[in-house]
DNA sequence: TCAAACTTTCAATAAGTACTGAAAATAATG
DNA sequence: CATTATTTTCAGTACTTATTGAAAGTTTGA
């Protein structure tokens, strides 16, 4: 079934927004990211405001967030006063940035909490069950932590090659 | 620094709830999961309602969701009329269930959308840039899809062993 | 140095999501 | 089969998060 560019763009922007939203990321932020990803030219805040029908404030705040995530860069055009924005197009870098950001914001704080919690003494049936669960989650978390570190450092395009063989 | 069991339980339940919430999962659902994870005995809906100070309706709905995710099981106690609930305690199974669920609900629909979108013809600068991005995301998505399938099938406890060496 | 162009901030409000409580449905018991 | 225990549903409401719009701040260049 054929699809026009405009239909495709619309569908992609909406789907990327929904995906983000399902993973706890602001829908508009994800939509701006989608729009910039598929734009061959850099866009200014006003372009984005118009395309997505949102306010300038909203566009601005989410652009800052995207820059903070390392997914979008500012671009200055000579002769132009306003700022332009371009998305990082290398998918491997995109994924690495997302992993880095979420690791820092969610995995690392969780590891810290588990560490604090593991000072509970296992001296009853209840506290033993508790400590066992915490230990298991710690084990998994620290493994995830080091695996993601390796993944982040592996700047190659591992994900397009054979990755299957890696798991057992 | 020492921590009592009750402090530890409270902190764990709250943190697990926050973690879930950050990843687009109902906070209460995650808290019920945490409570059941660390409970050596099965709990009934009323126990959970009391412990977390929530309504029966809320407890019931989120317990159904947890059962649907394959993270909690119903348990019938002889002599007892009401239902009891136990959490899956094997962390590997827990993670596998979560991956399975989210893969089905988010990755697979996205792959379907990308497939539809890729019928757009690359016959202009704009449509070429668009198709390139879609192809890159497809490449990554299908790799993620097959990797996760392998991961799900690998019923061993790979994650406690040496996993580092797998990435490059 | 002033005015225009543009960006940022944030209080008010809108939109989205989750929770309650009460009523309906279901299941077990005598 | 009627009573009671328990579970489920869902409309209304509360809570959370996202967005607007207007005002303040900043930068540029005439």
Q: What is the DSSP string of B42-86?
A: -EEHHHHHHHHT--HHHHHHHHHHHHHTTSEEEEEPTT--SEEEE
Enclosing domain of residue B9: 5-87
Span CA (A44) to C1' (D29), Å: 21
Residue B165 lies in a domain: no
| Residue A149 scores a pLDDT above 50 | yes
Q: Does A147 touch chain B (CB under 8 A)?
A: yes
Of A77-81, A132-136, B113-117, B137-141, the least confident: A77-81
Whether B105 has a pLDDT exceeding 80, the answer reads yes
Question: Is A15's CB within 8 Å of B40's CB?
Answer: no
- pLDDT band at residue B161 using 50, 70 and 90 as cut-offs: low
Does B83 share its domain with B15? yes
pLDDT at B167: 39
Q: Are residues A16 and A75 in the same domain?
A: yes
Tokens of B88: 């899956």
From the Cβ of A81, is strand C under 7 Å away?
yes
How many Cβ atoms from other residues are within 10 Å of residue B162's Cβ? 8
Neighbours of B20 (CB within 10 A): 19
Q: Cα A64 to chain center, whole Å?
A: 14
Q: At B1, is the pLDDT very low, low, confident or very high (cuts 50, 70, 90)? A: confident
Positive or negative: CA dihedral A124, A129, A134, A138: positive
Are A81 and A109 in a shared domain?
no
Residues B71 and B97 in one domain: no
Distance between CA atoms of residues A75 and A86, nearest Å: 7
CB of A165 closer than 8 Å to CB of A159: no
Tell me the pLDDT band of B157, cut-offs 50, 70 and 90.
Answer: low
pLDDT of residue B15: 98
Burial classification of residue A33, based on how many CB atoms lie within 10 Å of its CB (0-12 exposed, 13-18 middle, 19 or more buried) = buried
Q: Which residues does chain B have within 8 Å of residue A1's beta carbon, measured at their own beta carbons?
A: 116, 119
Whether residue B69 is contained in a domain is answered as yes
Confidence label for B159 from pLDDT (cuts 50, 70 and 90): low
Q: Where are the beta strands (DSSP E) in chain B?
A: 43-44, 72-76, 83-87
DSSP, residue by residue, B99-126: HHHHIIIIIHHHHHHHHHHTTS---SHH
Per DSSP (E only), the strands in chain A are 43-44, 72-76, 83-87
Interatomic CA distance for residues B86 and B39, integer angstroms: 8
Residue B99 in any domain: the answer is yes
Partner-chain contact A24 B19, CB within 8 Å: no
Per-residue flag: A153 CB under 7 A of strand C: no
Both tokens of A145, joined, read: 């932590």
Contacts of B36 in chain A (CB under 8 A): none
User: Are residues B102 and B78 part of one domain?
Assistant: no
Nearest chain B alpha carbon to A114: B12
Quote the number of domains for chain B: 2
The residue of chain B nearest to residue A167, with distances taken between CA atoms, is B151
List the nucleotides on chain D closer than 7 A to a protein CB: 5-10, 17-22, 28-29
A12 and A34 Cβ atoms separated by less than 8 Å: yes
Q: What is the pLDDT of residue A165?
A: 40
Do A29 and A62 touch, CB atoms closer than 8 A?
Answer: yes
Q: Look at residue A156 and tell me whether its pLDDT is greater than 80.
A: no
Residue range B81-92, pLDDT digits in tens: 999 999 999 999
Nucleotides of C under 7 A from a protein CB: 5-10, 17-22, 28-29
Tens-place pLDDT, residues A78-116: 889 999 999 999 999 999 999 999 999 999 999 999 999
What is the domain-level CATH number for residue A63?
Answer: 1.10.10.10
What are the φ/ψ torsions at residue B3 (nearest 5 degrees)? -145, 135
Are residues A70 and A107 both part of a single domain?
Answer: no
Asked if residue B71 and residue B39 are part of one domain, the reply reads: yes
**Weakest mean pLDDT among A38-42, A96-100, A161-165, B23-27:** A161-165
My answer on whether A76 and A11 are in the same domain is yes
Q: Are strands B83-87 and B43-44 parallel, antiparallel or unpaired?
A: antiparallel
Mean pLDDT of chain A: 92
Phi, psi of A72 (to 5 degrees): -135, 145
Judgement on whether residues B22 and B81 belong to the same structural domain of the protein: yes
From A87, A102, A131, the end of a domain falls on A87
Question: pLDDT of A58-77, one tens digit each?
Answer: 999 999 999 999 999 999 99
**CA–CA dist B101, B98 (Å, integer):** 5
B43 shares a domain with B81: yes
Q: Is B163 within the bounds of a domain? A: no
Query: ipTM of this model?
Result: 0.92
* Domain end position, chosen among A87, A117, A138: A87
Domain boundary among the residues A41, A67, A87 is at A87
Is residue B131 included in any domain, yes or no?
Answer: yes
Looking at the structure, do residues B10 and B79 belong to the same domain, yes or no?
A: yes
CB contact under 8 Å between A147 and B134, yes or no, is: no
Q: Phi and psi of B107, rounded to 5°?
A: -70, -50
Q: Which of B8, B130, B137 lies at the smallest CB-CB distance from A91?
A: B137
State whether residue A85 is helix, strand or coil.
strand
Pair (A101, A141) in one structural domain = yes
């Amino acid at each position: 079934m054929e699809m026009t560019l405009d239909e495709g763009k619309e569908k992609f922007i909406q789907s990327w927004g929904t995906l983000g939203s399902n993973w706890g990321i602001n829908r508009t932020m994800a939509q701006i990211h989608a729009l910039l990803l598929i734009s061959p030219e850099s866009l200014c805040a006003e372009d984005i405001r118009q395309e997505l029908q949102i306010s300038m404030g909203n566009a601005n705040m989410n652009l800052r967030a995207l820059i903070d995530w390392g997914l979008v860069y500012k671009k200055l055009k000579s002769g132009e006063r306003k700022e332009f924005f371009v998305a990082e197009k290398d998918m491997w870098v995109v994924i690495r940035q997302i992993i880095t950001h979420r690791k820092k914001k969610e995995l690392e704080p969780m590891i810290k909490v588990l560490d604090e919690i593991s000072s509970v003494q296992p001296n009853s049936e209840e506290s033993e069950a508790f400590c066992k669960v915490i230990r298991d989650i710690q084990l998994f978390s620290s493994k995830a932590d080091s695996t993601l570190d390796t993944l982040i450092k592996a700047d190659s395009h591992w994900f397009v090659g054979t990755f299957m063989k890696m798991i057992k």
